[in-house]
Chains A and B, each alone.
Chain A
């Protein structure tokens, strides 16, 4: 089956002036406006945009799986010449099972948790290839999707398998009907970096072998650029103008090597006295060793990054540093003072100098509090100044983190994600702490906002000689912010040292894999 079409051939998928709206309580809210694009056979088109750009809605529209309150208000989608909007139930089923393949976003949620992978794959196979027995076919498909241990995967329930394996099984199901177009909606965003690469390689391979066209939906600009023939940028439901697209790409984290080169002078400063000392910290939960004898020091006024994938123990370690969790052995010192959860009075004193910015800006602010009260809480609790002085301080902090004065009386739910994170930073700054733990502070934000928040953190560090403990899985961000780094894997520190040294000449194999997976 060769699909070497001449350029004159009609496109496989044509989206024409498409507009989609959702009905909320009383009105229709347009989400996609006048979007047009083509996907030719064998071509990969990346659809990129920030959250709220309408990219997932577009994918859902092609598959006609939008919720009942969505409506196509104008335009059409043509697949292989057929208008999907006018397709009968039967035609639609035929197109879904044989024309289109769908690789969803979150593999752990995309299987029925009550049935084995085998029964769910067979269900698809009976539909697509009734002429052959499903058993051999299922194994062949899984192998094709890069699964080696097919028997185990088939006999497992979804919760027993990793996200990476489940995503491969989903890919197997998606190619079962020999589709011509694969719609991949953020196929790797829920996966760890090292696994992401493997999945993308598999998709690329299948594309070549089967002559698949791919519609790749993603918020990851680097990924889109590297894996597609054509990139379409969406901005609030419209195909974006080129300045917007350029600005978006400019805000994306640069490759590690580029960032390191840019920071050459910055990283070459001499080491001042250590602000934070972590010495042989160990923590087990039952049989699981979450953190195993990790040691590092953070010089005052610098940023130390804890890098690792999910389950590497980086969050546990952060909680120990904050005194929220007691280490089984080892010690944490801030400026020579022990951080010890058993001594609550001393801990409270140390915490003046030890603050946090959480990962999720939606959960870390009390929904019932105004912004001003949230920022002022540490001041009130540590009785810093009188009422008037505190008010002045709150205003000053809001200013420092770039919050407009008119948000001070609002509640967290009225703010955007970026603004919420600024509130959290202002709260952390309130008592002039020495160390702030930044727990993936930007991973829940869109790229442009991410960039702004990182910029703010850098400025604040320079102006107030703050020390950061920066927890992240994103090596590109780490390269831009951190001075020293510790790479964690299953609770063990595999490598530690200045960022430039570790990233340029990794001594450990795992570090090398991590670096390769982000380019």
Chain B
């Protein structure tokens, strides 16, 4: 029985968009939403593929040397030879951005990998593990949440030393709490679903329920969060290197490129805008993909 007028309205809608509901045909509206991928999502995936491509094989996309410049060409503006101009040492900006993808993207992937593995494990252990484990794990999550994430990453980086790899681990550690919290809440939510009870009555063991029903049903949410946090990691890592705590010169990294460029902003604003625009575009693309995955996870759970 619908619980509110709104639900009935939605029921009116769903059934009417699909006169075949009782005949068991899939809802047309829902199927459209499920299958047809919006153009913005396609564009986002394209951006992500290009960026991943330049992380794996930067030389294919940019032939110029990203490290050694031609001093006489310094601070050149955008042109046919230097698509995005050159920096203060005459290095090609386009090449530096493409090659910078390697550091920026691989670090972000490493950071997310650290956060996903440790965070999910913590969250699942808190939700599904023995009772005595729950309180200590919850306190651990509280502690991690109490420290602003950039600050926590800075503490770790201060301890580990300044490098892109250390920054990646530091950012990853600072994101653990997010994953732990979501994994725990999702696990608790799914665990109380009637189909879990039904599986138990169907003779599925406790471990079986977790493996066969619970994990698959929280996976999409966690994947969409991982994609979202990948964007956050790109931002955090570029911020760390902007402050000088991440990747060290001369190897390029996006945040560091902005920091270098800021010194010549007046003379050569593209040195700031070009790498910053790349960060913004990548983060936007990643966020769009994440919202799309999230919406799909919601659809699937219906």
Contact = CB atoms under 8 A, between A and B. Distances in A.
- Contact between chain A and chain B defined by CB under 8 Å: yes
Nearest to B5: A105
A93 to B, nearest CB: 20
Given A24-B13, A377-B204, A424-B198, 11 more contacts: A24-B17, A67-B9, A236-B16, A324-B201, A355-B201, A356-B201, A360-B194, A364-B197, A365-B195, A377-B203, A381-B202
B29 interface: yes
Interface string A198-230: 000000000000000000000000000000000
Interface stretch (B18-26, B70-78, B106-114): B18-26
Interface in B243-302: 299-302
Interface stretch (A118-126, A255-263, A406-414): A406-414
A106 B202 CA distance: 35
Interface residues of B, number: 46
B198 A365 contact: yes
A363 B2 contact: no
Given A51-B8, A368-B217, A377 B202 contact: yes
Most buried by A among B19, B22, B26, B200: B22
16 contacts: A22-B17, A24-B29, A25-B29, A25-B32, A31-B12, A31-B16, A51-B8, A56-B9, A185-B8, A237-B16, A348-B203, A348-B205, A356-B197, A358-B198, A413-B30, A427-B198
Contacts of A414: 24-27
A351 B33 contact: no
A332 interface: no
- In order of increasing CB-CB distance, the 6 nearest A-B pairs are A52-B15, A381-B203, A56-B8, A414-B26, A363-B194, A378-B202
Q: Is chain B's interface secondary structure helix, strand, loop, or mixed overall?
A: helix
Interface stretch (A80-88, A174-182, A415-423, A490-498): A415-423
Interface in B192-228: 193-195, 197-205, 208, 213, 216-217
A121 B29 CA distance: 40
A218 B105 CA distance: 58
Interface string B109-136: 0000000000000000000000000000
Contact of B9 (A53, A66, A186): A66
A427 B202 contact: yes
A189 interface: yes
B203 A352 contact: yes
Given A366-B213, A413-B30, A56 B5 contact: yes
A418 B193 CA distance: 20
B146 interface: no
A151 interface: no
A30 B16 contact: yes
B11 interface: yes
B159 interface: no
Contacts of A424: 198
Given A51-B2, A413-B30, A414-B24, A358 B194 contact: yes
Nearest to B217: A368
Contact of B198 (A22, A356, A444): A356
A381 B29 CA distance: 36
A416 B11 CA distance: 12
A416 B24 contact: yes
B37 interface: no
Nearest to A109: B4
B1 interface: yes
Contact of A54 (B1, B16, B30): B16
Contacts of B213: 366, 368
B79 interface: no
Contacts of B17: 22, 24, 29
Q: Is chain A's interface secondary structure helix, strand, loop, or mixed overall?
A: loop
A352 B204 CA distance: 11
Contact of B1 (A67, A190, A364, A418): A190
Interface in A358-372: 358, 360, 362-368
A312 interface: no
A243 interface: no
B1 A52 contact: no
Contacts of A404: 24
A358 B202 CA distance: 13
Most buried by A among B4, B13, B21, B193: B13
Contacts of A355: 201-202
B203 A51 contact: no
Contacts of A430: 202
B11 A51 contact: yes
The bracket for how many chain A residues form the interface is 35 or more
Given A377-B204, A414-B24, A416-B22, A364 B195 contact: yes
Contacts of A25: 29, 32-33
B204 A364 contact: no
Interface of A: 22, 24-26, 29-31, 51-57, 59-60, 66-67, 104-106, 109, 185-186, 189-190, 236-237, 322, 324, 348, 351-352, 354-356, 358, 360, 362-368, 377-378, 381-382, 404, 407, 410, 413-416, 418-419, 424, 427, 430-431, 443-444, 449
B69 interface: no
A366 B200 CA distance: 12
A105 B13 contact: no
B9 A364 contact: no
Most buried by A among B12, B32, B197: B12
Contacts of B81: none
Nearest to B2: A51
Given A24-B29, A52-B12, A236 B201 contact: no
Most buried by A among B11, B194, B197, B216: B194
Contacts of A30: 16
Contacts of B29: 24-25, 29
A352 to B, nearest CB: 7
B21 to A, nearest CB: 5
Contacts of B53: none
Nearest to A418: B22
A129 to B, nearest CB: 27
B301 to A, nearest CB: 6
Nearest to A430: B202
Contact of B203 (A105, A185, A351): A351
A85 B154 CA distance: 61
A416 to B, nearest CB: 5
Contact of A236 (B3, B8, B15, B197): B15
Given A367-B300, A416-B22, A51 B15 contact: yes
B33 to A, nearest CB: 6
B12 A368 contact: no
A356 B194 CA distance: 11
Nearest to B34: A413
B24 A407 contact: yes
A59 B11 CA distance: 14
Interface in B159-203: 193-195, 197-203
Contacts of B19: 236
